[in-house]
Structure 1
Amino acid sequence: MSTSMGGGAADKGKGGAAGKKNGGAAGKESGAAGAGKGQRSRAGSGASAVGPPVADAGVPPLTGGRAGTYVLLLVTGVLVAFAGTLVQAAWFPGGLLLALAGVGGLFYGGGRATGTPAGVLVPGAAWLVTVFLLLGDVRPEGDFLFGAGLGSYIFLLGGILVAVICATAAQMRVAGVRYGRVGG
C-alpha cells in the first residue's frame, strides 16, 4: 500500500470492495486505508520510507577539535571545583558568590562554546565528582576542605542548580525553541 494521497489503484479496488463485502474488522481497516477520495490514511505519514537518511541538524558530529574541547572542559571543571572549594570558605559571602559565578561561567561558556548540552554536562560531571570527592575526603589528622556550614551546602546545591539551568538552556538552543509567549 502506498502512503501517498489515497493509496494506489490496486489498494483502492481491493480495500474498498473488500471492506464493503466482508464487513469484518479487517475489511473495514483495509477499506478505510484504501478508500481513496483524495484523503490520507491516518496510519501513513505521507512521506516515503525510501530515501537517504536525514542527519540530525541539532547535534553536530564529534570531531577532533570538539573532543579536545570536551577534554579541556573536563580539566577546567576539576580546577574550578578546587578553586571554588577554597574560595567559598575563605571570604564567606563574597567568596561563595565568586565561586558560584565561576561555576556558572564555566557551565554557560561550555554550552556556548560547543553548542551542545554536552558542553555543560561534561564540566558539570567533572565538577560534581570532584566536589563530592573533596567533600568526603577527611585526612587522618582531621583536616578537610569543606566545613559543616551553610556556605558549603549552598556551594554544593547552588552549583548543581546552575548546571541544571545551563543544561536546560543549552538543550533549548539546540532544539531551536524561541523565547516568548507560547501559542501567541
Structure 2
Amino acid sequence: MSDTGPGSLLARPVQRPSAARAAAYAGLFVLGGVVGLAGTLVQAAWFPGGLLLALAGAAGLFLGGAYATGGRGGAVAPVAGWIVAVVLLTAARPEGDFLFAAGGSSYVFLLGGMALAVICATLGAGRQPRGGPARLGK
C-alpha cells in the first residue's frame, strides 16, 4: 500500500486547526508555564520530595495534554510553556535575585524536565484512525 495514495494522510491538504483545538493548545501552553513556575519554587523548597513532585507534575501535564487532545501536539504545547517559563526564571536579575541555585537539584529539574518532555511527546497518543483493534493495512 502506498503512503501517498488518495486515502493517505500525506495526500490530504493541510487544514487549520479548529478554534476549540487552538484554544486547547493555548490553554495547555499557559498551564505549562504555570507548572514550570510552580515546579521551580517547589523543587528548591522541599528537597528531594519537592523535586520529585515538580517532575511528576510536569510529566502528568505533558502526557495528559497528549491524551486530552488525542495527538502529540497536546504534549508539545505545555512543554513549550514549561520551557519558556523555566528559561525566563533562570536569568539573574539586576538586583541579584534568582530562583535557581547552582546546586544539583536545579540541574536535575531542568534536565529531567527536558527528558520527560521528550519521553511524553514520544509516548503521547499519535493520531490513529478510529475503529476496531484489527490491524490496519495489509
User: Normalising by the residue count of structure 2, what TM-score does the alignment of the two structures yield?
Assistant: 0.80
Match of 1:167 in 2: 121
How far is 1:129 from its partner?
1.7
Which of 86, 107, 116 is matched with 1:153 structurally?
Answer: 107
| Distance in 1 between residues matched to 2:95 and 2:25, nearest whole Å | 37
Bigger relative CO (Cα 8 Å, ≥ 6 apart): 2
Query: What RMSD in Å do the two structures reach over aligned CA positions?
Result: 2.5
| Distance in 1 between residues matched to 2:7 and 2:16, nearest whole Å | 14
| Distance in 1 between residues matched to 2:67 and 2:16, nearest whole Å | 16
Write the mapping of 1:1-184 to structure 2, written as runs, cut at 5 A. 53-54=6-7, 56=9, 62-136=17-91, 138-170=92-124, 173-174=126-127
Structure 2 unmatched runs, 5+: 130-138
How far is 1:56 from its partner?
2.5
Over the matched positions of the two proteins, sequence identity in percent amounts to 54
Equivalent residues, number = 124
Structure 1 unmatched runs, 5+: 1-44, 177-184
How far is 1:139 from its partner?
2.0
Structure possessing the higher radius of gyration over alpha carbons: 1
| Distance in 2 between residues matched to 1:152 and 1:167, nearest whole Å | 22
User: Normalising by the residue count of structure 1, what TM-score does the alignment of the two structures yield?
Assistant: 0.61
